Amino acid sequence: MTHSQTKPRRHFGFHHRQQYRSYRLLLVTAAALLIGLTYLLYWWNFSSRFVVTNDAYVIGNQAPLKAQTSGTVVDVRVDNTQYVHQGDVLVRLDGLQAQVALEQAEANLADSVRQIEVLFSQTDMLRQKLLANEAILNRSRRDLSRYNSVAADGAVSAQQIENSEFQVRELEANVRQIRAELGGAEALIQNTSPANNPKVLQAVAALKQAYLDNARQQIVAPISGFVAKRSIQPGEQVRPEMPLLVIVPLNYLWIEANFLENELADVQPGQPVEITVDLYGSDVVYHGEVQGLGAGTGSVFGLLPPDNATGNYIHIVERVPVRIGLRAEELKANPLRPGLSAVVRIDTSRPGRSVLEPLTTTPESAYKTDVYDHQLDGADALIHRIIEENQQSKNRVGRQ
């Protein structure tokens, strides 16, 4: 084969390689355009409409149960993960000291009523004594006046007149002393009765406190929910404000999503939200609603708020908590727990309302308990009975 015969073949191979390169370049260009178009469509249909964060967590209420009085634990009736109803007795104290204190308070009230009865009797006695001394004083004054009128005729001696003058002055001093004693006694009972005298009312208040401490020996659940963080044990000595356990209601939960501040320009209350949690994965989607935006960034409410008025300032994009409500029926179908992590997608293309008009409300059942409203039931009847019995006993003594 000659050189002249092989030359056309080289020319053909070079042309073929150029066509192949052009074809590859076309494919790469087409792929880049396709990827760019796909991203554009994705951004137009998804990224431009949604803001997404995985810095989101399930939040719920935690009701700490604390002791309200002192005592020794003799009965613990619940344990962690157990469900309790509002009003159930969860912990019981021994109640011996509280019972003794209640009996002492009852005795103090009875004694106070009797003391006030004595004051009323003393006041009546002083009034009668004052009337008697005033009558004697008036008679002595009239006698002295008659003695003076006949003294010039010698019918009465000077010594008798002098004795009468001394007697009048002595009686006047006695009357002033009795009036002072009467004023002091009346000041203690003025405009009162044995039932509403301040001294009796103090004893009544002390009795109610002792009655309340005795009733609080049985510690009840303020709300319904699941028990967590139980730390109390039988035989342990408790005091007021000592934490015993926590009750977590799982029927009212929400999501707290922390978005970067540059993502919140279009986020408004009322916009729909899709939530997935790691517990169930992407197969379970919760549908929520933006309820409101936090009143400040997380760092503002931290233990050490930022102080940017320094020379070492570093600009940091902060996060703002967004509260997202959940649907009760979805929570019931797929229960959640506080603290679970979530992924949140807010559809900002939907119109909402001003961030100054949040949708957050206070559910009446979630933030209200009436288990403590009736702990003083029976106290008023007990107080009335003690007052009546001690008033009647004084009246019987008086009649005898």
Residue 292's φ and ψ, nearest 5 degrees, are 180, 165
Other Cβ atoms less than 10 A from the Cβ of 292: the count is: 19
How many helical (H) and strand (E) elements, i.e. helices and strands, does the chain have? 6, 14
Q: CA 7, CA 71: separation in Å to the nearest integer?
A: 110
pLDDT digits (tens, 9 = 90+) for 268-282: 999 999 999 999 998
What are the CA-CA distances from residue 325 to residues 192, 248, 253 (Å)? 57, 18, 8
> Please, which pLDDT band fits residue 92 given cuts at 50, 70 and 90?
very high
The dihedral through the CA atoms of 363, 369, 370, 376 has a sign that is negative
Give me the mean pLDDT over the 181-195 stretch.
Answer: 80
Q: Is the pTM higher than 0.85?
A: no
pLDDT of residue 302: 74
Q: What was the pLDDT predicted at 156?
A: 72
Q: Spell out the CATH class of 63-96+219-248.
A: mainly beta
The tens digit of pLDDT for each residue in 292-311 reads 999 888 777 777 777 776 66
CB within 8 Å of 296: residues ≥ 6 apart: 320
- 112's enclosing H/E stretch is helix 96-150
Domain regions of the chain by residue span: 63-96+219-248, 97-215
CA-nearest of 74, 88, 67, 108 to 210 is 108
Helix (H) or strand (E) holding 131: helix 96-150
At 398 the pLDDT is: 36
| pLDDT over 60 at 394, yes or no | no
Query: Average of pLDDT values for 226-245?
Result: 93
Lowest-pLDDT choice from 2-6, 128-132, 157-161: 2-6
- pLDDT for residue 12 is more than 60: no
Integer distance in angstroms from the first to the last C-alpha of the chain?
A: 158
Locate 131 and state its tokens: 């009337």
Assign 251 to helix, strand or coil.
coil
pLDDT level of residue 43 (50, 70, 90 thresholds): low
